[in-house]
Amino acid sequence: MSPSRRPGLPALMLMSVFACGLAPLPVAAALPEFADIVASTSPSVVNISATARSRPAANASSEEMQELLRRFYGLDLQPQQPRQRQSFGSGFIISADGYVLTNNHVIDNTDKVMVRLSDRREVEAKVIGTDPRTDIALLKIPAGNLPAVKIGSPGALRVGDWVLAIGSPFGFDYSATSGIVSAKARALPNEAYVPFIQTDVAINPGNSGGPLFNAAGEVVGINSQIYSRSGGFMGVSFAIPIDVAMEVVEQLREHGKVRRGYLGVSIQEVTRELADAYGLERPAGALIAGIEPGSPAAEAGLRQGDVVTEFNGRALNLSAELPQSVGRAKVGESYRLTVVRERKPMTVMVKVAALPEAEETAAGTPAKGAGKKEAPDFSRLGLVVRDLLPSEKTALKVKAGTLVVRVSEGSAAEAGLAVGDVINRVGSTVINSTQDFAAVMSGQPAGKTLPISIVRRGSSQILALRMPQPEGEGG
């Protein structure tokens, strides 16, 4: 073969691949045309500025000082002028007749909301309604024939899909940033009703309320929060799924407020130890730690210790998925719950009620001083308990149980029991006294894991207590 006809390096590599009987590597998928998406969707994105006038609060000392200056020096001080507080954010048009979506925290506690469109028009918006629980605000501007976004399906997103955000970080209008979906259905503290979309899209102050687009140019979320230790973007941002937001929009347009589903249970995560205690194949579902009297859950016959594994046919992997599902359920309708009770699956129908207004209750604290003799030390567990005094029942808001007064090294400590806990149930057995606790614990085989229901600082929890091996035996 002459040098002029010698195959180049790529051809040699391809020949080697076929010679070895291997298929060529697939060509990398093309990236989305972000420029086309930005060009087609930017007219639907808006900048939002909200202002509030706050007058300095008067106090007795300042009023007395002004009176002294007036009487003895003839000085008449001018009253302090109201100060103006301003916040900025982003939003997007969801209908041609002027409805705009943004975050509630962008316009919360403000007097005037201005919306600036892509053609530089600036109009005052009317707040149709807000929902602080999902951080959604619905605005209406006096304009028509507006370019509205296309609504996409967050459920079709996959982890790793490309997404694009457009907003006004730090006041820089119509800034575009891109990234991928990092996780779905992410639960955040104090955000029980939103299964957030986590991304690595750069989101900064001013992006709040702006749209998150998929590769087809459809809105799949509302950029809402970032995780940051510096106040700026650190690679973790969260968006409210657009289907959740549109359900809120429907209620805000119809009623001006949002009604949410309510069961009346407190729940906790199913750990590996609790899964073993309840006979579950894997740690999944929502463990009912407490039930409010008279609630839909109580009327349906749900019990403390039930593990909810499905809601209306949808499997629950994490406990946070239960309040998200119930919150989005229609008030007044009945839903099917699959629960595991005493290691057996069963179906319970529950009629969802409207979430009542939140009520704050003070958590009781253990009263000091013991008026009764302590029960024998459960040395196998590293635990000392005693009966509750009447004053302690009142302070702790419990009717019965046995009070933990000492925890030493052992199974109790490993399970997470702490001084001040009230043990009120072991498995399905209600504990009314220390004698009840002693009776149910006696004869339990070594290695068995028991679900222990407790009340701690006013909240119900369930712990997994593993019975230890007898002294002198290996574990």
CA distances (Å), 148 to each of 41, 52, 174, 349, 403, in order?
Answer: 9, 28, 16, 41, 61
Would you state the pLDDT for residue 72? 57
CATH architecture of 383-466: Roll (2.30)
Does residue 270 have a pLDDT over 60? yes
Does residue 23 have a pLDDT over 50? yes
List residues with catalytic annotation. 105, 135, 208
CB count in 10 Å sphere of residue 407: 20
**Residue whose pair of structure tokens reads 């253990």 in the numeric block:** 366
Does residue 46 have a pLDDT over 70? yes
Q: How far apart are the first and last CA of the chain?
A: 75
Would you state the pLDDT for residue 4? 45
> How large is the average pLDDT for residues 271-276?
88
What would the pLDDT profile of 141-191 be if each residue is shown by its tens digit? 999 899 999 999 999 999 999 999 999 998 899 999 999 999 999 888 767
Q: What topology is assigned to 261-354 in CATH? A: Pdz3 Domain (2.30.42)
What would the pLDDT profile of 86-119 be if each residue is shown by its tens digit? 788 999 999 999 999 999 999 988 889 999 999 9
- C-alpha–C-alpha distance, residues 395 and 393, integer Å: 6
Would you state the pLDDT for residue 5? 47
Do the Cβ atoms of 326 and 261 come closer than 8 Å?
Answer: yes
- C-alpha–C-alpha distance, residues 369 and 364, integer Å: 15
CATH architecture of 40-53+66-140: Beta Barrel (2.40)
- C-alpha–C-alpha distance, residues 250 and 445, integer Å: 56
Highest mean pLDDT among 51-55, 73-77, 424-428: 424-428
Q: What amino acid occupies position 210? A: G
Every domain of the chain with CATH number 2.40.10.10 lies at 40-53+66-140, 154-255
Does residue 126 have a pLDDT over 90? yes
Q: Nearest Cα to 292, choosing from 261, 265, 319, 262?
A: 265
- C-alpha–C-alpha distance, residues 434 and 377, integer Å: 11
What would the pLDDT profile of 309-339 be if each residue is shown by its tens digit? 999 999 999 888 998 899 889 889 999 999 9
Would you state the pLDDT for residue 89? 93
Does residue 450 have a pLDDT over 80? yes
Q: 3-state SS string over the chain? A: CCHHHCCCHHHHHHHHHHHCCCCCCCCCCCCCCHHHHHHHHHHHEEEEEEEEEECCCCCHHHHHHHHHHHHHHCCCCCCCCCEEEEEEEEEEECCCCCEEEEEHHHHCCCCEEEEECCCCCEEEEEEEEEECCCCEEEEECCCCCCCCCCECCHHHCCCCCEEEEEECHHHCCCEEEEEEEEEEEEEECCEEEEEEEEECCCCCCCCCCCEEECCCCCEEEEEEEECCCCCCCCCCEEEEEHHHHHHHHHHHHHHCCCCCEECCEEEEECCHHHHHHCCCCCCCCEEEEEECCCCHHHHHCCCCCCEEEEECCEECCCCCHHHHHHHHCCCCCEEEEEEEECCEEEEEEEECEECCCCCCCCCCCCCCCCCCCCCCCECCCCEEEEECCHHHHHHHCCCCCEEEEEECCCHHHHHCCCCCCEEEEECCEECCCHHHHHHHHCCCCCCCEEEEEEEECCEEEEEEEECCCCCCCCC
- C-alpha–C-alpha distance, residues 177 and 208, integer Å: 13
Average pLDDT value over all residues in the chain? 82
- C-alpha–C-alpha distance, residues 192 and 325, integer Å: 10
Burial classification of residue 197, based on how many CB atoms lie within 10 Å of its CB (0-12 exposed, 13-18 middle, 19 or more buried): buried
For the segment(s) 154-255, the CATH number from 3.40.1080.10, 3.40.30.10, 1.10.1060.10, 2.40.10.10 is: 2.40.10.10
> How large is the average pLDDT for residues 254-263?
87
- C-alpha–C-alpha distance, residues 257 and 128, integer Å: 9
Would you state the pLDDT for residue 75? 55
Would you state the pLDDT for residue 64? 63
Query: Per mean pLDDT, which range of 44-48, 84-88, 221-225, 307-311 is the poorest?
Result: 84-88
Every domain of the chain with CATH number 2.30.42.10 lies at 261-354, 383-466
- C-alpha–C-alpha distance, residues 475 and 469, integer Å: 6
Q: Nearest Cα to 109, choosing from 125, 93, 87?
A: 87
Q: What is the CA radius of gyration of the chain?
A: 30
Does residue 361 have a pLDDT over 50? no
Would you state the pLDDT for residue 63? 60
Who's near 234: CB < 8 A, 6+ residues apart? Answer: 226, 227, 228
CB count in 10 Å sphere of residue 107: 24
Would you state the pLDDT for residue 254? 86
**Residue whose pair of structure tokens reads 């929890």 in the numeric block:** 461
Would you state the pLDDT for residue 371? 37
Q: Nearest Cα to 373, choosing from 365, 359, 384, 360?
A: 384
Q: How confident is the model at residue 198 (pLDDT cuts 50, 70, 90)?
A: very high
- Note if the pTM is more than 0.75: no
Query: Per mean pLDDT, which range of 56-70, 269-283, 352-366 is the poorest?
Result: 352-366
